[in-house]
Structure 1
Amino acid sequence: MLAVLGFVAVLALTTGLIHLYLWKRLVRDTTHPGRWRRVGGIAALVLALLVPATLLGTQAGLYWLAWPGYLWLAVMFYLLVVLVVLEVPMLVTRLVLRRRLAAAEPTTAAPEPVLVAAAEPTTAAPEPGLVGAAGPPEPPAAGAVTAAGHDPGRRLLLARGAAIFAGLTATGITGYGVRTALGPPRLDRVQIPLAKLPRSMDGLRIATVSDIHLGPLRGRAHTERIVAAINRLDADLVAVVGDLVDGSVAELGPAAAPLRDLRSRYGNFFVTGNHEYYSGVEEWVQEVDRLGLRVLQNQRQEIRARGGVLDVAGVNDLDATGTTGLAAGPDFAAALGDRDPSRPVVLLAHQPLAAVEAAHYGVDLQLSGHTHGGQVVPFNLVVRLAQPVVSGLGEVDGTKVYVTNGAGFWGPPVRVGAEPQISLVELRSA
């Protein structure tokens, strides 16, 4: 819970700064002082508070906050991205307009000398246009250039155009992302050669799924659809590589129950992800085991199939490092240290980063999730800074790493550039 509160605090500060920027670009720059600017300011404040309120509220069971809060989080993200991208062309456009206005400004001619008559004073009113004529100055016409070289009318029009473009783009991308995230998971088939795999085991198939994320926005129907899709694959093994839930067994036990219907020839396996540690990992380990999945907690299982032998190992999530008991952190030595090195081994580990340590134990293949494939472009670029592989097949120090995009989502019900996915990994003898 402390980890969640810390995350919410950081997110609240970040979203506060983001909403300040959005207020400047979408409200202050597009309105005159007065009623509408005040309304926009209040709306920005309410939306800024909605994000941390949603995260805390859903933890407390206020699930009605989930849809408006998470949808706004997605729209906010894409508003920020589009407006930041527009900063450069907007700046260039303002500079070009300023130069054109300055070039079009008429030059002031030097005054002609005026002859002054001698002697007698006159009381006649001066003629218009003569030096010394009285009268107030003419007010500047609408659209006139100010002393600073700006045209307020054109600047306002430019700001409103950018705001409309950003709003339409952000809502359009979010709508597409919602449709993708709530749609059926795509099947990804991949063949991976393993040098140690016996020829008799060539073609062994492992159905791999991660990041199902049962929670306030996804329930039992989501699990049923995933189970049905996996069962259609007629796989030899099933691997569920973490982040099954975002909530307790009491809240989500019925939603996870369809997992008991998973079918495979040689076994169904599960390893913990970081979100299990936010949701009561001890209870979930027992619940998943009760549903018929073998939970590999720093353990290894020998698979004898087709006249060959394969080791399937699993480690607890990296985020549990330093903990003990049933919720203990990863222990690669316990899972891999005393195995027969002539056998191929497939390691189930939630985070791709685990491959850095797994490579020291000669792991042939690691199956992971966690990244969601980035979930929303361009966030995938940020994920690359933390994980060695974001999506698909890669390699870390000689260990092959396959990362599936996940079948669910976390936070906003949005996926852009990373469809939900179930993967069928086919092992081939090299």
Structure 2
Amino acid sequence: MIWIGLAIVLVTFWLIYKNYEARLVLTLSGVLMALIGEAALGSPTTVGAAVDAFIKQLVNGGLVPVIVTVMGFGAVMTYTKCSDHLVNALVRPLTHVPAIVVPGAAIITWGLNIVLPSAAGVSAAVGVLLIPALIALKVRPVMAAAAVFLGTWGSVISPGLMFNPQIASIAYKAGEIPTADSMIVIMQEAIPAALGILIASLILAAISMLLKEGVGSVKEETETDREMANFRINPIMAIIPVIPLFLLVIASKQVGWLPTKTFSVPVCMLIGTALGMVVGLIHKQDVGETSKRFCKGAGDGFNNVVILIAAAALFAAGMKSIGLTGALVDAMKGSQSVAMIAAAVGPFLMAVVSGSGNAAALAFNEAITPHAADFGMTIVQLGAVAQIAAGIGRTMSPVAGGVIILAGIAGVNPMQVVKRTALPCVAAVIVTTIAMFTLG
């Protein structure tokens, strides 16, 4: 039974690596394991329990509203051009200090990815502005794309990322934290993740100097010089994308300036969306079209994120029914270091080869993270390491949607981009994992 389950899991990940539809693959694999488990155990409720796990995620009151409102808000910020003004406001100061241009671009993208948590979305929104800006500063196109791509894992500490509410929910059910508040998880992840991007960006800066691809590497003049100089930043529009994140921070239990229950993630995102609509009206944008963009973004969030979470839950239920989860937990109980390494290495490698670590990280968190106490760790530590490692692994994958978008903007080969992000990403996952287990 266990060997059959392990074979199914390996085939599942191989199919995801081959770019088969992840939601379908996870669902079918979960059902297959549940059917085998039901036949072996003679229990008529095994498949039903797996399906129930799927349905519960579709109506998860702590998860679904967060994801759909964050994705809707991000769509509105892109449509109203507020994200354009924020990016330009952050980039312009870099022109005065050439040495920090490459690491600064990575850190800026990382920070923006917290506000706009879709890696592909932030690649498109930021890449179309930041890559031309870097090229205007005479950075080689491939390094410009690498600098932006390196920052596309900032979403790991976003309230809208699927994993943080998931980890908070698991930790709350286990009695580890007082409420299922994703900000509690994020506050523990923030410093380790910040250390990771700092180290990664500095290594990329060193690579850019070694390869002579940083500021001043290109001698030709470009039209982007005039475009950047003529762009007029609207401070109000630049601030709006950050407002929901600011409200969430000051309403967190750790800060407590605003009532936490009132200023939830969906409420803060809707406040930001409303402000975006007001800006759109001022600039004569059709408010009906802005509303459509929010609804489309929210729908994409449910389609691309929520259903994937539900499929991962069904997959995890199938692993449990066939006995694989219990065997893995028993194996990991023997050594804390094994659990620590598995949490980081598994999702990281899966993300590298598939371009998306979501499936691996979700399955890991559903199946293994609830048992963190058996390994001498907290649920937040184990779950956070798995999801952060997945985000970083995606940032050195040549098949990730973000790198394909950025390589297209820069006119370079995606493989050349990830050659430059690989070493910084490996360093980031090591630093972040160590920091998470020692500081988290």
TM-score tier by shorter-chain length is under 0.3
Q: TM-score, normalised by structure 2?
A: 0.22
Higher share in helix: 2
Q: Who wins on radius of gyration, i.e. which is larger?
A: 1
Higher RCO (CA 8 Å, separation ≥ 6 residues): 2
Which one has the bigger strand percentage?
Answer: 1
